Amino acid sequence: MSQQTTVSAEQLRAQFGDMSLVAAMNHGREKRAYTHTFGCQQNEADTETIRGMLAEMGYQMTDSPEHADFILFNTCAVREHAEDRAFGNIGALSHLKKQRPDVIIALCGCMAQQEKNVEKIKKSYPQVSLLFGTHALWRFPSLLRRVLTGEKRVFDIGGADDIAEGLPVLRGEGPKAWLSIMYGCNNFCTYCIVPYVRGRERSRRPEEIEAELRELTREGYKDITLLGQNVNSYGKDLGLEIDFSDLLRRLNDVPGDFLLRFMTSHPKDASRKLIDTMAACSKVAKQLHLPVQSGSDAVLSRMNRRYTAGEYRELIRYAREEIPEIVLSSDIIVGFPGETEADFEETLRLTQEIEYDLLFTFLYSKRSGTPAASYEDPATSAEKQARFERLLRAQDEIVARRQAAYQGKTLRLLVDGESKNPDYPFTARTEGNLLVCVRGEDIVVGSFIEAEIEKTSLRCLYAQKR
């Protein structure tokens, strides 16, 4: 039995009705919208849906908030820093709202889904006239219509864990596209706010995902990333005989020349079957983002990650054996409550053993409402900062070595844009998603090329088209 619920056709029709109403109100006027996205790819994908709805309602997109009639911040709550930046951005707009009272300032996303932030916005940020949470995204047209027809402040953080299909999407330029395959998270890692602001896991139906992929390939997208907080639990709520590996195989059969990436994989659910599927599917990029968070079993257990460092190492060993060219990346939290110097050394040792191509390191940020917020946290911030810097230095050495090993190799690249470097005027990605600056004759954005790596740096490979 399927537990997942879908927004009904009738509810969606009401939203399309409101889109037409707003479009009629905007008809003949030059209305502009500005959006700013904080946080992860999921948020970027959500913003593209909001921009799709805005376009449908007659708004032109602009890169400047000063020229916009509608300003939206899609926010992230994962670390305090992200929240502070969002509040700072909204605060900075109070003068604009005074100069142009008609401008609509809106806030949505993960911060907006939290009661404490809603209260703060209500009290201290009167310039915000529209706020909606992650569950109300599909109701945006109705909420905007209410603001436009005179309601002073519209706040909506209600709604259930349901899926809305068929909303318009306005994607960015270039060959890359996000494709959400599921929403929410059930894992409740003890440091993490995401399950509280994104709700429970729910998977889109495979035929909807496949149809969207076919549409994307028809539109010329070539670098498509399947999104979910833990893609490896895809399908568990559908009551169908399909898991994430099966979905990958199905999508790999869609005709066309494109790359499929996916994120994020949780190590407790990433299996040998997944690695075998990656190895067997020609369109699945040989790239795996597998966040380990810590190399210490004691810390992993307190984080509620439900794997050991040994199990993690074993999976990486298998992946490298099956797919020698695989590009590996990870996330690490430094300074989780109770992390000792010895725990940290284990994390350092693990990263030095595995040698990730790319590592995202974060200082632990206390999130109220999560279990870890009440854990004892004796290490000082100076100690944590010192660990953080040691890890960065060690990782830089690894990356320099790994990047240098590409020197002289010929790789297949997807050209994805123009660079600011006149000597290498285009940017491209390897199949493993490494950044490359390229030069050569007849380079076209959106095409696959063969190129030879001429030199390397920490952040970029430099290549000549063959």
* CA 66 vs CA 50, 51, 152: distances in Å: 20, 18, 21
Q: Which of residues 336-395 bind ligand SAH (CB under 6 A)?
A: 362, 364-365, 367
Residue 93 near residue 65 (C-beta atoms within 8 A): yes
In this chain, which of 4, 15, 43, 430 binds ligand F3S, going by CB under 6 A?
Answer: 43
Which of ligand F3S, ligand SF4, ligand SAH, none binds 384 (CB below 5-8 Å, type-dependent)?
none
- The mark string for 179-218 relative to ligand F3S (x by CB under 6 A, - otherwise) is --------------xx--xx--------------------
Minimum distance between the CB of residue 266 and ligand SF4, rounded to whole angstroms? 5
In this chain, which of 75, 230, 245, 294 binds ligand SF4, going by CB under 6 A?
Answer: 230
Closest CA to 222 of 18, 458, 444: 444
Residue 107 near residue 129 (C-beta atoms within 8 A): no
- The mark string for 76-95 relative to ligand SAH (x by CB under 6 A, - otherwise) is --xx----------------
Which of ligand SAH, ligand SF4, ligand F3S, none binds 39 (CB below 5-8 Å, type-dependent)?
ligand F3S
Mention every residue, 6+ apart, whose C-beta is less than 8 A from residue 216: 177, 179, 224, 258
Q: Does 110 bind ligand F3S (CB under 6 A)?
A: yes
Q: How many residues does the chain have?
A: 466
In this chain, which of 22, 108, 131, 189 binds ligand SF4, going by CB under 6 A?
Answer: 189
Q: Which long-range contacts (CB under 8 A, 24 or more apart) does 50-54 make?
A: 50/74, 50/108, 50/137, 50/140, 51/169, 51/170, 52/167, 52/168, 52/169, 52/170, 53/19, 53/140, 53/141, 53/167, 53/168, 54/170
Q: Nearer to ligand SF4 by C-beta: 70 or 312?
A: 312
Which of ligand F3S, ligand SF4, ligand SAH, none binds 43 (CB below 5-8 Å, type-dependent)?
ligand F3S
- Tell me the DSSP string of 45-97: HHHHHHHHHHHHTTEEE-S-GGG-SEEEEEE--SSHHHHHHHHHHHHTTHHHH
Which of ligand SAH, ligand SF4, ligand F3S, none binds 331 (CB below 5-8 Å, type-dependent)?
ligand SAH
* CA 185 vs CA 181, 182, 241: distances in Å: 13, 9, 21
Q: Does 403 bind ligand SAH (CB under 6 A)?
A: no
Minimum distance between the CB of residue 109 and ligand SAH, rounded to whole angstroms? 13
Task: List interacting residues with ligand SF4 (CB under 6 A).
Answer: 185, 187-189, 192, 194-195, 229-230, 266
Task: List interacting residues with ligand SAH (CB under 6 A).
Answer: 78-79, 191-192, 194, 229-230, 264, 266, 291, 293, 331, 333, 362, 364-365, 367
